[in-house]
Amino acid sequence: MFLFFSNTCNYSKKKHLCFSKLVTVIFIPNRKQIVEANLMDELWWSEKDYMRFQFDSFNEMRELKSKHPTITRNQILKLLYQPGNISYDKHNFE
């Protein structure tokens, strides 16, 4: 950790801005260090994770389609994965 000192302070009539005298620097490990520390599985999704996401997504879509047979695939995708575009209604999932 490196410590830098600064006495920078800028005052004006309406507002003022001051910087702390103490700065903390945290070094981020590079990819080689992450691999050596066996942290890849902790930081990134694996192929198995992606397969699980796909499986869960398919089941979610299939369940919604069974409850609303006239809904299209695009409507399902929009409802499930772009919820800001459509108002949420808990009855869609009952």
- In a domain? residue 2: no
Q: How many domains does the chain have?
A: 1
pLDDT tens across 28-86, in order? 999 999 999 999 888 889 999 999 999 999 999 999 999 889 999 998 888 888 867 55
CA quadruple 54, 56, 61, 62: dihedral, nearest 10: 110
Structural domain of 76: 9-93
- In a domain? residue 4: no
User: Above 80 in pLDDT, residue 89?
Assistant: no
| pLDDT band at 18; cut points 50, 70, 90 | confident
- In a domain? residue 45: yes
